[in-house]
Structure 1
Amino acid sequence: MTLPLLLVLTLSTLALAAQQPGVDEALSRPILAPEQTRIDTQVWTATQVPVLQVPASRAAWAAQARTLRQRLLDEVVYRGTAREWRTQKVVVESFGEIAADGYRVRKIRFEAVPGLHVPALVYGPVPAPTKPTPVVLNFNGHEGTGMANAYHQARCINLAKKGLYAINVEWIGQTQLATEGLQHYRMNQLDLVGTPGLAVFYESLRRTLDLGIGLPNADAARVAVTGLSGGGWQTIILSALDTRVALANPVAGFSSYVTRAQWPDKDLGDSEQTPSDLASIADYTHLSALMAPRALQLTHNAKDNCCYRGDYALGNLVQQARPVFDLLGAGNRLGYYVNYDTGHNYERDNREAFYRFLHANLLGGSADFDPREIDVTADLRDLATLTIPVPADNADFRSLARGILAARQTPATAPRRERLQALVKAPTFAVRAEHAGTIGEAAFWKVHLDNWTVPVTELSPSTPSATTLLLNDAGRAKAGADVRRLLGEGRRVAALDPWYFGESALGQRDFLFGLLVAALGDRPLGIEVGQVTATARWLESRHGAPVEIVARGPRTSLIALVAAALEPDAISGVQVHDSWRTLREVLDRNISAQQMPEMFTFGLLAEFDVAQIEQLVAPRAVRVR
């Protein structure tokens, strides 16, 4: 061979090699448009929210409202062990009284659910009422000082001085209940074992209402509820579902789920605001309408620096609820108020708006009630003065979940694929694969699955012996070591980023979309499994043989196992690395929904653990590495 020819061949080989991307480079190459998965998720979730339907007659609405309330209570709140909590007799303990000019404050504690004790303050007029007296329940948000917060005290003292009862109750997970185990995103631990975490919150609210109605000479027909932020959410969830409430004034407490999908960094809300399956039945527009013909004032802040800002959150709620109030001849009992003070607040302007609404709609415009606020600055007390002791072993979400598991009986029958599917709710997607380019032996694919698109990087040796579908908790860009190993074994590798992982990540506060998906009646695990099984079927069709799934990490390992359990034809087996051998690890490691949304599939651990899922994969191999 002549030197010039050798030089040409060498240069050609180098040029070809230069075109061959390294494994890590190929896996890191973007396939989707920037923020594509986040935007697809926003659009899809918004389109799944139920629309409020207003019938033509009052009788039809009455029937519709009864059905809505019953479904929300039976299908969302009181499932599993929560049905037993509902019948539990409330235990109330007293911890002294604070005497003051024109009012008094009783310090009490009650059991919301077995083992979970909640502090509350009962403000009452002095002298004690001798005739039927209205009661106002005051619920807190995410304030560091809880019941000692100045604006709570100012409102409750004013109400008591004006002749009303006012109860202020500590919120689960806040101030005296601010333990790690009661952090709101851990309520989903109860969901995993088949009992709604929401029920803990709701039982605290319902029992507060019971306590208020049971006060001496309390007027059970004149009960009002109010609160800011999380207190606003508590206001609407209790008032919509319990018709003993006559008037509600939530302040910056919620927006429609459609609005939340459009403003995810502001409005999506904590686990209790977006509980499993609520949005499959009703939106917050429905909850607002369920107040009719009772009185409802929606207050929002124009300069809110937190959430539910007046300009985008308020109009839709009023627009949707107004036709129902008008239908029932109660149009004048639906009001709204926009505050222009700075921040997320329930300060004097908002309080006086509440007093005016209360005066007109619950107190009949009585001359004995002045809606102007009394300056009670001198009466405000510190947290130590208002503190009510709670037991050192006070229950939390994890201890409740563990107790439920301990009482669970082992199923007498073998696990069934149909039952796993009913829990996971994996969709069957239609596949349309779009080739997004080839560089050397690396092919890039956009795999369109109905309303979703997932990226797949496919790498192959010259004569592949089989195909592996590869998943990784850290995303396909971090899967280089596994890809090189599998290529070395002569296997074709299709590295996939399903929803929430790698290039399919959702960005800031991603976990809130996981909660929203579950609230809509779907499951994050189900969407991920559906994407994996659809991709496996596509690969089987392309290459003529079932694929093995290899997953690294506890999250994608669970996805892989469930996918194999539900897809017996296109998946030949599973190999998992760094996986968990039991879902009880969620409780043992005290995992929250912020960390691993797919681990909190409602009721999954009540019926299946990893061993039962693997039984459904058999006789195909499950290799644990």
Structure 2
Amino acid sequence: MKRLALASASYALAFLAIGPQPPALCADTPNATDAMVYSASDMPRLADGIALAAGDERTLRVWAPSNQAWTLSREDDLATLKSSPAAGDATPRWLDLGRVQGTIKLVVAGPVSADAKPKEGETPPPPPAPALIVFEPDPKGDPARLLEIARGVVDSTAPSPDRRREQSRTNKEGANFHAPATVEEWRERGRHLREQMKVSLGLWPEPPKTPLNPQVYGRLERDGYTIEKVVLETLPGFTLSGNLYRPKSVAAGGSLPAILCPHGHWEDGRLRDDVQHRCIRWAKLGAVVFMYDMVGYNDSRPFTHEFLNERLRRWGLSLFALQTWNSIRALDWIASLPDVDPARIGCTGESGGGTQTFILTALDDRIKVAAPVVMVSEWFQGGCVCENAAGLRIGTDNIEFAALCAPRPMVLVGATGDWTAKTMTRAFPAIRGAYSLVGSPDRVEASVFDFPHNYNQTTRNAVYAFMGRWLLGLDPSVDTREGEQTVEKPEAILTFDAQHPASPDRKNPQQLEDHLIHTIRAQLEALSPERGPTVWQAARPFLATSHRVRVGVAIPSPEKTFGREVRRISREGLTIVHAQVGRRGEGDAIPVVRITPAHTNGRLTMIADDRGKLALVKKSGELSDLVRALLDRGQSVVGFDPLFVGESLDADRPVGHRPLVAHGLTYNPAVAADQMQDLATVLTWAGSQPDVREVSLVASGLSGRQALLARPLLGNLARTVVDLDGGGDDDYYSDNVPAAIDLPGVHQFGGLRAAAALSAPTPLRIVRPGEEFAQEWPQAAYELAGSPGALKFDTDPIPAVDLARWIDAGE
């Protein structure tokens, strides 16, 4: 769902110009006798206004608490609903606000409740909205009947008690990592973590490793070591600058250990004295050292330390991805040097460079010894865009990432004056648990020194001693401590100057963005099932991994789900049961309604729609044509309100997303991911009911796109029908189109067409896919799976009776 747009004290509620009903999966024909029913969650999603037919006059009714008074005013086509306090309690009632006709654009205005007022600097919340709004053609009509389907709780407009509405993990919270019980569990966990990291960092697929075209020049002779300037082309037209330190005296044919040195967020970057000092000392101790720039620092300053926007996010790209790729390519280069032993490479950096150290170590086992300094913490995970990427730390944290170094030697160094002060009581014991699990507890050490955030001489001496032993093979009795050293002036080590200017062909951020997205598109096309069984056999598990990470749906076991009955109604030979469904220990409470006929055949169809449970009704509570057709065939029907829809939205504070926090998508699912999880949870619950032997799914609109994305993970559904409303993957092919689904990395695995292909061979019917939808992908995949008949495409909506027949009997 799109976020609520705020304008001072008023809140726009825009309605799509679609006539009496939102677009429907089935070919039901709306008419002037149908009521138009909306909930508070519909309002930010809808667009421009209601265009009533000529002569069509309707009564506007709202369902709201008695302690809210509502009035309606109109100026031209702008209608304003305004709330004000009233005598009464929270018991809801229907209010008749008068007749409307013509074109209507609706806004809500009113005071924000005192407990919802923002703190200084926060975005103000919207004012309350009515929980339900009905445009009723009959001025004497009674909308109360629709409550039997739309609401489980009817004595209050309060939302379901779902903790996720008020819950966002921040970058100042860890994930409480503890090593699992067995080494096998840890290895499997490590495999999944590395996949999550690679996908979240835009390295799945990773960019092609094009020639680095290294430029090495400007050799400086110093006492016991040399310094050279280095420029690498880590991506075509994108360069990484740094300095290479070497011992001056090397035995003929000798092979030296090497150390990568990424720096932290110091204003002067690699030019900082502390950074230079460690490179000098390592070279004197006998190592080849490469210190290199963060993106946008020093020699790459024109690029800036920014590389993130909504387009990049949809393709799984970020500044963190770019910076990590630079580290991987730096490792490629230093490992290729003739005087370097590729089996003895270490990495150490501080702060943001500490992040690069443990991330690179976790991803690449060529790093044999690691020293992340003043970064691994139980609560602060990184505050810069170069340390945060959507999905990266959902369910995990930096402590667990650092533990992936095991059994390779690692030393942690913290400082009392920053977030690593508790290294010895939290981070180190947790990481040592992983090392103990793999039988190497002696290979991890930690210290905390009484300083502010730093990589000062005391800290460096601790790292020299540890890495000297494990990487250089130095006896502990050898004095590795740093003595008097002279650092270079910036102009002596910066790579670009009048004699060696930066290439005029260097890409700017927009050019690099375009190049990377073009590259990913080409890589995905090379994985198409149209290329035949050999390609698809390898491509399918590869795409399934990025799909699984990006969609983020976890199928709960039936034992982990619960359903608390809220209300039970009997009407017209039907049993209507409202429940709150969720996963134990997760804090979710999804409003669900199940409608069961007197004689059921054991089959159940779940209907997912942008309007939630309201999609099951028309005309003030009468069942929709599809629901009625399914019930007539003996099927049960389930509808639900996913998070921030219908009864899952707090009408008193109608904010359609989790609380906003810094780098929130790094630690929390996107709204689309939460809603797809709700779909999976309700499906598991529905399938576990004792009288249900088969479950099918029908989904439409944005919910249809979400259902198609989630379908490969949803297990053994009998049949799936998704209506894409003509919007299938439009933004995949045209980056100027707003994202149909606001899900980070949705294009990284190929979008909706890939999800449809990954759904083979399960029965799947795609309605109104739109001209942009690449039908060739799923068609080829279903052909290769030997089930071409299980995939159907429909250009137009399907009559309800025909759709019910297909769902029930496959006809």
Using the size of structure 2 for normalisation, the TM-score is 0.52
Change in CA separation of 1:382 and 1:35 when aligned onto 2, cut-off 3 Å: farther
Structure 1 distance, partners of 2:238, 2:706, is: 34
Matched residues, number: 557
Q: Match for residue 427 of structure 1?
A: 555
Give me the identity figure in percent.
18
| Matched residue, 1:24 | 130
Q: Secondary structure at the match of 2:730?
A: coil
CA contact (8 A) 2:352 2:382 kept: no
Corresponding position of 1:463: none
Compared CA separation, residues 83 and 273, structure 1 to 2 (3 A) = closer
Q: CA deviation digits over 1:319-371, x for unaligned, max 9?
A: 331454558xxx2x43211133223x323332222123234443524888641
Q: Is the 8 A contact 1:121 1:168 kept in 2?
A: yes
Find the partner of 2:667 among 478, 495, 513.
513
Q: CA deviation at 1:228?
A: 2.0
**Is the counterpart of residue 400 in structure 1 residue 516 in structure 2?**
yes
In structure 2, what is the Cα distance between the partners aligned to 1:375 and 1:589? 57
Which residue among 371, 378, 394 is the counterpart of 2:481?
Answer: 371
**Displacement after TM superposition at 1:135 (Å):** 2.8
In the TM superposition, 1:217-256 aligns within 5 A as: 217-218=339-340, 222-239=344-361, 245-254=367-376
Q: Is the 8 A contact 2:175 2:395 kept in 1?
A: no
Give unpaired runs (5+ residues) of structure 2.
1-86, 96-128, 133-150, 152-156, 596-604, 628-637, 651-655, 757-768, 780-789, 799-811
User: Which residues in structure 2 correspond to 1:46-65 (within 5 Å)?
Assistant: 51=180, 53-54=182-183
* Selected match of 1:122 from 244, 253, 260: 244
Asked if 1:381 corresponds to 2:490, the answer is yes
Shift in CA distance, 81/427, structure 1 to aligned 2, threshold 3 Å: closer
- 1:394-417 superposed Cα distances (whole Å, 9 cap, x missing partner): 67465223223235155438999x
User: d(CA) in 1 for partners of 2:160 and 2:735?
Assistant: 36
Cα-to-partner distance string for 1:499-550 (whole Å, 9 max, x where unaligned): 99956954335412357999xxxx77863541465588799x99x9988645
- Alpha-carbon separation, structure 1, partners of 2:164 and 2:331: 45
For residue 138 of structure 1, report the CA deviation from its aligned partner.
Answer: 0.5
Q: Secondary structure at the match of 2:405?
A: helix
Secondary structure, aligned partner of 1:31: coil
Q: For 1:267 and 1:618, locate their aligned partners in 2 and report how far apart those are by CA, in whole Å.
A: 46
Pick from 282, 290, 308 the counterpart of residue 167 of structure 1: 290
Is 2:450 the partner of 1:340?
Answer: yes
The amino acid across from 1:339 in the alignment is F
Letter of the 1:352 partner, please give it.
N
Partner of 1:527: 677
Paired with 1:379 and 1:402, the residues of 2 have a C-alpha distance of: 41
CA distance in 1, matches of 2:268, 2:350: 14
Q: Which residue of 1 aligns with 2:464?
A: 355
Equivalent residue, structure 2, for 1:105: 227
Name 1:582's counterpart in structure 2. Answer: 730
**Number of the residue aligned with 1:497:** 642
**Partner of 1:599: helix, strand, or coil?**
coil
* Rounded Cα–Cα distance in structure 2 between residues aligned with 1:167 and 1:68: 32
Q: TM-score, normalised by structure 1?
A: 0.65
> 2: distance between equivalents of 1:421 and 1:220?
33
For residues 248-279 of structure 1, give each alpha carbon's deviation from its aligned partner in whole angstroms, at most 9, with x where no partner exists. Answer: 21224446xxx67xx78989962399389999
Q: Is the 8 A contact 1:250 1:297 kept in 2?
A: yes
1:318 partner letter: R
Q: Which amino acid aligns with 1:228?
A: E
User: What's the RMSD between the two structures over aligned residues?
Assistant: 6.2
Give the secondary structure class of the aligned counterpart of 2:482.
coil
Question: How many angstroms does 1:41 deviate by?
Answer: 13
- CA–CA distance in 1 between the matches of 2:697 and 2:366? 58
Which of 399, 404, 408 is 1:287 aligned to? Answer: 404
Larger fraction in helix: 1
- 1:299 matches 2:377: no
Letter in 2 for 1:379: E
For the residues of structure 2 that align with 1:547 and 1:324, how far apart are their CA atoms? 45
Q: Is the 8 A contact 1:288 1:317 kept in 2?
A: no
Higher Cα radius of gyration: 2
Which secondary structure does the structure 2 equivalent of 1:24 belong to?
Answer: coil
The aligned residue for residue 146 of structure 1 is 269
Deviation at 1:119, TM superposition (A): 2.1
Whether the 8 Å CA contact 1:137–1:209 is kept in 2: the answer is yes
SS of structure 1 residue aligned to 2:426: helix
Unaligned runs of 5+ in 1: 1-13, 56-60, 461-465
Retained in 2: the 8 A contact 1:303–1:342? yes
* More deviation, 382-391/316-325: 382-391
